Structure 1
Amino acid sequence: MSEERRRVLNNLDRIEDRLRDAPEGLHDVGEPAGDDDLAASGLAPHVALLWGAYDGLELGGGEARILPLADHAEATAAAEAEGRLRPGDRVIGERGRDLLVLAADPHAEGADVVLVEEDGERLPCASSVDRLVLALLGEFSVLFDEDGEYQEDLFGDDGELTPAAERRLLRRHLDLDPDAPLARFRLAQSLRRAGELRGAAQELRQLLRRAPEFVWGHLELGRVRLGDARPVEAVAAFRRAAELAADPGLRAHCLALACLALSNMPSATGPSAQGKKAMSSKTGPAEQDAKASSERAALAAAALAANPNFAAAQEAAVRDALAGEDLAAADEQLALGLAVVPGHLGLLSLRPALAELRERPQDDEGGDEEGDDDPDADVDPALRDDDAERVAARARPEPPPTADRAPGTGSASSPYGGRTPAKSSGGRRSRRPARSRG
């Protein structure tokens, strides 16, 4: 028996145990697929083992689905018609409105299973189908109690998972699929938002070893390095993200972040070890400033070449942030815009409104308690990506700074994409008799 087959069979036993112990009605599984259907499926033998045990699974009351073999062709054809797939992809499941896809080239993608969002964004999701199912079951065991109801203290007043609950889910996922790039990315982002930059960097290094071409991983690493006062490494990470970005708007966004990192270079590198190392012994401060200025100009030109409407998009983002009294978002969007187009009159005209918002007295009622619960409270506002990142990256004419999504199923900060997980539905079967693995 091959090592891969032995691994999958072991995971199937673990899946079976979890299904048996799960609350009644939380999961629904199909009967094993027939030998003829498995032989005709075109799946690799070790991959087909999952369907040989369960020909389709519905997990977490419908939060995630692994499709029966008979549905693969239709689901794949429908996704192809929508332009969401690459040649050789195979749709094998769904999570919310996003697709779970067996990638045609797992090595290039960084994962066997890729999550394809509604807009076509591809995110490396799981190292194998069996590990994905096992990891999802692990997540749901954290979410639901023995009666199939949500555990207490999972959600905040806004209805979203609390940072602590989110991390529990992500760490449980990674316990069961250590090579899952998307879960590790979300964990790194959560750590960075909480100011735990060293931990975030460690997670990102592990992520990028597995998925070296994951653009959002490099972008997040740049943010971590910028927050860690390592602007040279930040610029390198943002440049790499720009090189990998297929979308022109996202490429411009990455280049703008590199410009911002360079703009912060003099103050960031003065006393730092990295700044001293970067400073050549053969050139003085004036030459270094000239070199940085030239590099900023080149990056800004590249950003505008990728997206000529970048400055206008940033102006719209700042206006929307001001309207929503979101000081952090307004600060960051303005800083990004001016890093690329320092003299843009529309952006400069918004400085007084931003200053007014900054000076406006804050409502102190309950403010201390809210600050204690805010994982971004101690993070430099210029480093926050919030839910505007995706909009700014796309650089639409009027990108609302809180309306769009960072990478992942909706928002990279939540395993459920900013959506409350589906409630379990009654009448579903979650137990099946044990089978030997001969």
Structure 2
Amino acid sequence: MSEERRRVLNNLDRIEDRLRDAPEGLHDAGAPASERALAASGLDPDVALLWGAYDGIDLGGGEARIYPLAEHAPATEAAAAEGRLRPGDRVIGERGRDLLVLAADPHAEGADVVLVEEDGERLPCASSVDRMVLALLGEFSVLFDEDGEYQADLFGDDGELTPAAERRMLRRHLDLDPDAPLARFRLAQSLRRAGELRGAAQELRQLLRRAPEFVWGHLELGRVRLGEGKPGDAVAAFRKAAELAADPGLRAHCLALACLALSDMPERPGPAAQVPADMPEKTGPSAQGAKAMSKKTGAAAQADKAGAERAALAAAALAANPMFAAAQEAAVRDALEREDPAAADEQLALGLAVVPGHLGLLSLRPALAELKARVAESEGDEVEDEDDPDAGMDPALLEDEAERVAARAKPEPEPKAAPAPDTGSASSPYGGRTPARSSGGRRSRRPGRSRG
């Protein structure tokens, strides 16, 4: 027996244990497929072992589904007719609105199982089918209690998973499928948003070793490097993402981020700013003046080089998406209408990094400044207008009460930024929408669609 077959059989035993121990009705596993159906399936014998144990599985009350063998062909034909597949792909299931697909070329994709979104975006999902099922079962054990209801304290006041709950699910997923690129990408995103940049960078290094052509992994690495104050590394990551991006809008977005990163690069004297080796060492005002002039000349040359690089990146972004500035203007206006200053600021900076003199974008600066001032004033008024009911209370009692409040406090959700126009989207299997009712009476969290 091969090592791979032994591994799959061991995971099938673990899957059986989890299905047996799960709350009744949470999962629904089909009977084993017949030998004839397995032989006619065309699946690799080791992959087919899953269907030899369960010919179709519904997971998490409808959160995810592994299709029975009889549904593979019609599902594949339908998805191919919609233009969502590549030659040789095989649809084996779904998660929310997205398809779970056995990739024709796992090595190039970075995963055996790829998540294919409605718009055809492909995301490397799982290292194998059996590991994916096991990891999903692990996720749902974090999400649901022994009665099949959602665990307490998973969701914030906005109805979305808290960052802490999302990370627990992601880490549990990765415990059971360590090479799952999409889960590791989501974990890196969560860490970066929480300011844990070193941890995010470590996750992304592991991700990109497994899936080196994953565009969004390189883009996320660029964001992390920018947060670390390494704009040079950020530019390299954004350039790599743009190189790999098939969608022109996404390519323009990556190049715009590279422009923005270049704008953040400090002007430091480089080799050109150093005194030439053959310049004799002298002292006195003339020598000091020569060195100062040399440094100034070197800094100017470096600034000119950075400016030329920014111009080239901006031109490439506009070549990929000639309507980029107009799209950014629309995104800023939308954020202003929603009174989201953080999103408006980000979209405005991105647009001006590519087209610094765009009148439409520049005209929105006063409105953004007014919104920021209004939000700041509103927040200040809320603080000033509050009466202090604790005045005169024993400080020790106040401290105890503060500790109790802190213990009950939940992390605040990250502000939602407007999505960059025409940049594609990646499903977040763990958040993004208020839970809907599933047919079984439990709330069903459908994938949200944002990529931070």
TM-score normalised per structure 1: 0.86
Compute the displacement of 1:372 (Å): 7.7
Q: Does 1:313 align with 2:342?
A: no
Q: CA 1:416/1:12 → structure 2, altered by over 3 Å: closer, same or farther?
A: farther
SS of 1:178's partner is coil
Per the alignment, residue 340 of structure 2 pairs with 326
Q: What SS class does the counterpart of residue 140 from structure 1 fall into?
A: helix
Does the residue aligned with 1:159 lie in a helix, a strand or coil? coil
Alignment of 1:246-257 (within 5 A): 246-257=246-257
What SS class does the counterpart of residue 92 from structure 2 fall into?
strand
CA distance in 2, matches of 1:426, 1:356: 46
2:364 — aligned with what?
Answer: 350
AA at the equivalent of 2:435: T
Deviation for aligned residue 1:374:
3.1
Secondary structure of the equivalent of 1:363? helix
Determine if the alignment matches structure 1 residue 233 to structure 2 residue 233. yes
- C-alpha deviation, 1:45, in angstroms: 0.6
Report matched runs for 1:16-415 at 5 Å: 16-266=16-266, 281=274, 284-360=298-374, 361-363=377-379, 365=382, 373-374=411-412, 376=414, 386-389=416-419, 391-394=420-423, 406-407=425-426, 409=427, 411=428, 415=430
- Contact 2:273–2:299 at 8 Å: present in 1 too? no
What's the RMSD between the two structures over aligned residues?
Answer: 2.4
Q: Matched residues in 2 for 1:424 and 1:27: separation? A: 13
> Is 2:335–2:418's contact at 8 Å kept on the other side of the alignment?
no
Identity %: 79
CA distance in 2, matches of 1:39, 1:179: 29
Q: Which has the higher contact order (CA 8 A, sep 6+)?
A: 1
Which letter does structure 2 place at the counterpart of 1:241? A
Q: Which letter maps to 1:204?
A: L
Whether contact under 8 Å (2:59, 2:65) holds in the other structure is yes
Q: C-alpha separation between the residues in 2 aligned to 1:278 and 1:392?
A: 40
1:420 CA drift (Å) = 2.7
Distance change (3 Å), C-alpha of 1:371 and 1:287: farther
2:80, 2:342 → 1: CA distance?
A: 40
Checking the alignment, whether the CA contact within 8 Å between 2:270 and 2:298 is kept in structure 1 is no
In structure 1, stretches of 5+ residues that fail to align are: 271-275, 378-385, 395-404, 428-438
Residues 73 and 416 of structure 1, relative CA distance in 2, 3 Å threshold: farther
Gaps of 5+ in 2: 277-296, 387-404, 443-452
Check 1:21–1:29 CA distance in 2 against 1; reply closer, same or farther (3 A cut).
same
Q: 2: distance between equivalents of 1:328 and 1:66? A: 40
Cα separation, partners in 2 of 1:210 and 1:419, compared to 1, 3 Å = farther
For 1:36 and 1:223, the matched residues in 2 are separated by: 51
State the shift of 1:357 in Å: 1.1
TM-superposed CA distance for 1:219, in Å, is 0.3
> What is the aligned residue count?
397
Measure how far apart 1:253 and its partner are: 0.3
Structure 2 Cα separation of the partners of residues 72 and 30 of structure 1: 15
> TM-score, length-normalised on structure 2?
0.84
